[in-house]
C-alpha cells in the first residue's frame, strides 16, 4: 500500500531534501508551501496554505493523508525587529503546529512528525551529552516556542490517538544550507584566515541525508509513535576539526589562526553576538544511542562523505556562476 505523506515547509532546505527522499522511497508526496514559484525536481502535488498560524485551514491539504511531517517554522532571525520575538515565534511554531495537529487528527492522519530543535534541551553541554529524557532547558525564544509546540502536539495526541513523533536535530548541513555554515564555507573557499585554530570543543551536527533518513524511518516504524528522538551524525567534532575537514573537502588549505577561545567569546559578547560565540567555542553533544536502539537505525552517511558531497555541490555552484577562485 502506497503511503501518502504531507510535508509542510516543502520549499525549505530540509523540506526539499525530504520530498526528494520520500519520492525515491515510493511514497505519494503532497507538498505544502506558503506560495508557489520554486519548482521541485520531481512532480509532486503542491498545495498552497499561505501564512501559518492559529487560523490556517489545513483541511484541503490533509485529505487522504497518512503521515504529516511538519518542517515549516518561523526560524531564528538574525536581526529580529519584532517588539516581542517570542510572541511572533509562538504564532507560527506553537499555535500553527497545534492547529495543524488538531485538523490532522480530525482528518484521520495516523502519524504526525514534528521537526523540533535540540535547542529545547539547551544551548551547551558540559561533559554529559544531551538525551531526549533530559528536562528541557530552552535557551531562546525560538527554542521556547518549539518546546511549546511539542507540548501542544503531545496533548492533542493524548486526546485523539494521533501518533505523535518529535525529532530534535542540531545544526543541519548539506548543499545549499543557509546561515552561518554557508558563511564559513565561503570563507574557507576564499582562503581567508580565521581565528578558530585553537578551539577544543565537541559539537554534534547532522548531515541533511542523515536527518531525512531518520524522518523517513519514523514515518514507517511502529516503534516511533509517541517518542522523542535526538539525531546527529554520530561523530562529534571540534569547530577547528570541522573547518579543517571542510577545507580538505574543498581542496583548500585551512588558514586557521590560534586565538584563545576565551578571547573569541569576549569579542562575540562585545559585538552583541553571544550566542554565536557559544556555538563556535562551546560544546553541544548529543547521545543518539536511544534513537539507534529504539528504531534499529544508524546514520547511513559518514561525516567525511557528507562534507565531500557538500564541497562538490558548492564548487559546481561557484563554477556555474563564474566565481571560482584559483
The ranges assigned to domains in the chain are 4-168, 180-203+237-283+302-320
- 173 flagged as catalytic: no
**How far is the C-alpha of 33 from the C-alpha of 47, rounded, in Å?**
6
pLDDT given for residue 80 in this prediction? 57
pLDDT given for residue 179 in this prediction? 79
pLDDT given for residue 325 in this prediction? 47
Q: Which CATH number fits domain 4-168: 3.40.190.10, 3.40.930.10, 1.10.3720.10, 3.40.50.720?
A: 3.40.50.720
Query: Tens of pLDDT along the chain (326 residues)?
Result: 689 999 999 999 999 999 999 999 999 999 999 887 667 777 788 999 989 999 999 999 999 999 999 999 998 664 556 778 999 999 999 999 999 999 999 999 999 999 999 999 999 999 999 999 999 999 999 999 999 999 999 999 999 999 999 999 999 999 988 877 888 899 999 999 999 999 999 999 999 999 999 999 999 999 999 999 999 999 999 999 999 999 999 999 999 999 999 999 999 999 999 988 999 999 999 999 999 999 999 999 999 999 999 999 999 988 887 754 44
pLDDT given for residue 324 in this prediction? 46
Global pTM reads: 0.94
**Strand 45-48, strand 67-70: pairing:** unpaired
Of 173, 307, 196, nearest in space to 251 by CA: 307
At 102, list the grid cell: 488538531
Which candidate in 13, 142, 229, 314 is catalytic?
142
At 231, list the grid cell: 539525531
**Strand 163-168, strand 228-230: pairing:** parallel
**How far is the C-alpha of 175 from the C-alpha of 13, rounded, in Å?**
9
**How far is the C-alpha of 28 from the C-alpha of 45, rounded, in Å?**
8
pLDDT given for residue 225 in this prediction? 94
pLDDT given for residue 135 in this prediction? 97
Alpha helices (H) along 161-296: 180-190, 208-220, 239-250, 261-270, 274-281, 289-295
SS (H, E, C) 183-216: HHHHHHHHCCCECCCCCCCCECCEEHHHHHHHHH
Hey, which residues does 5 pair with through a beta bridge?
Answer: 29, 67
**How far is the C-alpha of 211 from the C-alpha of 204, rounded, in Å?**
13
**How far is the C-alpha of 291 from the C-alpha of 264, rounded, in Å?**
34
Amino acid at each position: 500500500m502506497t503511503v501518502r505523506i504531507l510535508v509542510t515547509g516543502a520549499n525549505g532546505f530540509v523540506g526539499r531534501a525530504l520530498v526528494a527522499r520520500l519520492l525515491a522511497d515510493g511514497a505519494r508526496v503532497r507538498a505544502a508551501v506558503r506560495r508557489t514559484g520554486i519548482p521541485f525536481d520531481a512532480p509532486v502535488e503542491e498545495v498552497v496554505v499561505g501564512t501559518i498560524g492559529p487560523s490556517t485551514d489545513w483541511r484541503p491539504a490533509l485529505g487522504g493523508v497518512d503521515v504529516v511531517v511538519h518542517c515549516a517554522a518561523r526560524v531564528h532571525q538574525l536581526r529580529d525587529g519584532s517588539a516581542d520575538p517570542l510572541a511572533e515565534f509562538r504564532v507560527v511554531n506553537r499555535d500553527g503546529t497545534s492547529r495543524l495537529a488538531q485538523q490532522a487528527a480530525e482528518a484521520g492522519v495516523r502519524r504526525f512528525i514534528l521537526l523540533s530543535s535540540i535547542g529545547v534541551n539547551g544551548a551547551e553541554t558540559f561533559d554529559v551529552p544531551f538525551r531526549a529524557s533530559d528536562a528541557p532547558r530552552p535557551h531562546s525564544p525560538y527554542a521556547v516556542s518549539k518546546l511549546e509546540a511539542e507540548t501542544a502536539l503531545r496533548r492533542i495526541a493524548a486526546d485523539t490517538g494521533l501518533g505523535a513523533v518529535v525529532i530534535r536535530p542540531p545544526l543541519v548541513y548539506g548543499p545549499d544550507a543557509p546561515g552561518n555554515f554557508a558563511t564559513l564555507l565561503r570563507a574557507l573557499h576564499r582562503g581567508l584566515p580565521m581565528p578558530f585554530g585553537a578551539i577544543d570543543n565537541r559539537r554534534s551536527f547532522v548531515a541533511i541525508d542523515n536527518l531525512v533518513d531518520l524522518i523517513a524511518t519514523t514515518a514507517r516504524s511502529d516503534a516511533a509513535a509517541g517518542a522523542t528522538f535526538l539525531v546527529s551524525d554520530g561523530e562529534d567534532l571540534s569547530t577547528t576539526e570541522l573547518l579543517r575537514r571542510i577545507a580538505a573537502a574543498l581542496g583548500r588549505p585551512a588558514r586557521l589562526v590560534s586565538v584563545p577561545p576565551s578571547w573569541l567569546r569576549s569579542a562575540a559578547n562585545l559585538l552583541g553576538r553571544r550566542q554565536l560565540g557559544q556555538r563556535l567555542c562551546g560544546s553541544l553533544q548529543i547521545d543518539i544511542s536511544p534513537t539507534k536502539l529504539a528504531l534499529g537505525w544508524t546514520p547511513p552517511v559518514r561525516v567525511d562523505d557528507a562534507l565531500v558531497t557538500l564541497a562538490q555541490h558548492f564548487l559546481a555552484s561557484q563554477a556555474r556562476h563564474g566565481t571560482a577562485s584559483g
